[in-house]
Structures are given as C-alpha cells and as structure tokens.
Structure 1
Amino acid sequence: MIVYQPSFDLYHSIYRMINILGHFKYGDSIEIDRLRIWDYYLLYPNKLKTVSLKKEENDIRQLINNFVLRKQNPYEQIFNDRKMFEKIRPYQMGALKYLASIGLIDKDYLKSNKISKISNEILMELKLITDKLSIQEENTISLLTGHFYYIPLSGKDGLKERTNLLESKYDA
C-alpha cells in the first residue's frame, strides 16, 4: 500500500510556504524558525491544541478548538513532535531555497536568519497557479500569522518554549 505524506513532499512544502508568505502582512521580515514552526502547524493543525497557552489566552484556545477541526489521519500519528519537526527541516529549507532562486524572497536569508519578501508580483503569479486553501488551512494560517506573530520567538514564554519544537533552554 502506498501512502502519501505531504510532510516529505518538497512541492507541498513550497505550496505551504507560498500560502504562509501570502498571508504575512506584518512587516518586512520573519524569522526562519518562526516560519518553520508555522509551517509545521499548517501541516498538522491538530497539534495546535498542544501549544501551551497562558490563562489570559483562553480566547485563542477557544478559537483553536472551534476552527481547527481536521480529523486525525490514522496514518499521520506523530509520537515525537520534535523529531518530526527535524525530519521535515530539509524539505522546508529546500522550499525556501527554491523561493529564493525565483526571486520571491531575499537570497541572503541564511545570513540574517530572517525571510524577507521582495516580490509581490511573483507571489501573486504563484498563487494563481496553485490550488485554493481549504477553510481549515485558512483558519490555521490566520491564527498563526495573527496571534502567534506577537509571541516572541525566544526566551521565557516564547514560541520555541511554548511549542517545544526547538530547544529554548539556552536562548538569551
């Protein structure tokens, strides 16, 4: 039996990155680690329920419970999120390299550890030839690029610590 797994598909990674960058409206750049974390939760939206939220973020918890309703695929059971996050890293970085090669993002993203969109025209052309997002994906991206943009990436209560996908113990 052949089972398709979008997490190990370079083209699906490119598709996800294009859609995340298309919804990103908060400035010039975004950290690579933040983009990778968002991509992981777009790939596995049910995992958003495992992100630790503060008591005052009950409204976000309710949004997650109400709008992130994708059924769990029995072939997508993940027992260790951190290992899976590292397994898909080459596909995510390959997608970023492709987007840099066509001029969508700045080619010097590895030096600055941030992604900068440099061409909205290329983004619009790519969005025209890709499929539309499902309601589930739209809700997930809106939540990620909205609320989770304002959470600092590093430090105490940062996105790394809350998601436990990346090591945060030694962050400044």
Structure 2
Amino acid sequence: MTQLSYQPAFDPYNAMFRLLQLRERSWLTQAVPYDALRIADFFLLFPFFLQDKDIRYKPEHRSIRSVGKKYKAEKPYSRLPDKRTLFRRVEPFQVAAIGSLVNGGFVEADSWEQRIVEATPKEIPNTLLTQLHAENSANSELIDAILKLLMDYPLTGKDGLKDRTGLLEYRYDVV
C-alpha cells in the first residue's frame, strides 16, 4: 500500500501564502533581507522551534519561548531532522515562492536580484487578503513573536538573527 502525505514545508504555494502573511506587517513597509525572511518563514512553518533552548533571545523577548511552547502539540509524531537540515530542505520551496511572487508583480524584481525582498504597490486580491487577515488574526501571538525577531534583531554578525537562531552561519558575514 502506498501512502501519500502532505507536508506544507515542501509546497511552494503554501510558502507563497506564508510569505504574504508576513508581507502585511513586515516587508510591505520596508525591504527585508532574504535570509531574514527565510528565518521568519521557518518559524511560521515550525513554531514549536521557537521554544528551542539553543535560540538566544534578548531579555525583553524571552516570552517568545512561551509562544513556541503553545505550539508544541503541532510537532509531528515522526522524527524530524535537526532544525538546520530542515531549514536547508525548505529553501528551494521558499525560492520558488518568491520567484512566483516576483512573476506575479508582488515583489520587486530588481531587489530580488540583490536577495532583498521588497513589496511592490500591487494590491493583493480581496479574497486572498481576507484569508491572510483571518489566518494572522487566528495566530496573532505567533505573528507578533516572529515579527519581533524580524524587526528587532540585525540579520548578520555576532548576536544577529543568524547567530541567535543557529539556522545560518554568521561568522563569514561582512559587517
């Protein structure tokens, strides 16, 4: 018997929806480095990793760990690879999603060539916007926690988002 299972992490359409969720409150107002958006998307996809003891939060953001604990029940029963491996496996789908958003006119193509995600003035269709707002309202605490990471931490260097989360190498960053 063959069994197929769906994993949102490996679906570029789901990745587009998640990136658009973050668009309304983050990269709509200012351009965001691609790697920072990847990290934010990863935690939106796997919120239970926010409780990981390896992540070093600023003292004022330690409450983010408790947000991750609320999503502990969403952790799949099967064994997951370590978070860095999982983060790398999700990247092709994130790239495909951003490429589709560029082709759809929602992301600036010139900025994307520089690995910066910048929103265009193009409006999201109302039916999709309604779904995005509903999903963001249902998970407002999670969205707020992820946006704190995205907005309050630099991406590069010691104590940057790459270093604090352990998802990307920071030691060779130009700072």
TM over 0.5: yes
The runs of at least 4 consecutive aligned structure 1 residues that moved more than 4 Å come to none
Partner amino acid for 1:52? R
What pairs with 1:23-172 in structure 2 (closer than 5 Å)?
A: 23-24=25-26, 27-50=29-52, 51-54=55-58, 56-57=59-60, 60-66=61-67, 69-70=70-71, 71=73, 72-75=75-78, 77-122=79-124, 124=126, 126-128=128-130, 132-133=134-135, 137-172=139-174
Q: Which residue of structure 1 lines up, in the alignment, with residue 23 of structure 2?
A: 21
CA RMSD of aligned residues (A): 2.4
TM-score, normalising length: structure 1: 0.85
> Quick one: structure 1 residues 134 and 118, their matched pair in 2 at CA, closer, same or farther if it must change by over 3 Å?
closer
Moved more, 10-19 or 109-118: 109-118
> Quick one: structure 1 residues 95 and 25, their matched pair in 2 at CA, closer, same or farther if it must change by over 3 Å?
closer
Quote the offset at 1:67 in angstroms: 6.8
Residue by residue, what CA displacement relative to the aligned partner does 1:55-100 show, whole Å, maximum 9, x if unpaired?
x23xx2224315751212213x423111111111110000001111
Q: Is the 8 A contact 1:22 1:123 kept in 2?
A: no
Identity of aligned residues (%): 27
Quote the offset at 1:28 in angstroms: 2.4
How many residues were matched structurally?
Answer: 168
Quote the offset at 1:33 in angstroms: 0.4
Residue by residue, what CA displacement relative to the aligned partner does 1:13-68 show, whole Å, maximum 9, x if unpaired?
111011011121684201100000000000000101122124x23xx222431575
Distance 1:145 1:125 in 2: 24
Quote the offset at 1:124 in angstroms: 5.0
Structure 1 unmatched ranges of 5 or more? none
TM-score, normalising length: structure 2: 0.84
Partner amino acid for 2:56? S
Residue by residue, what CA displacement relative to the aligned partner does 1:95-117 show, whole Å, maximum 9, x if unpaired?
00111111111012333221111
Structure 2 unmatched ranges of 5 or more? none
Partner amino acid for 2:66? N
Distance 2:128 2:152 in 1: 27
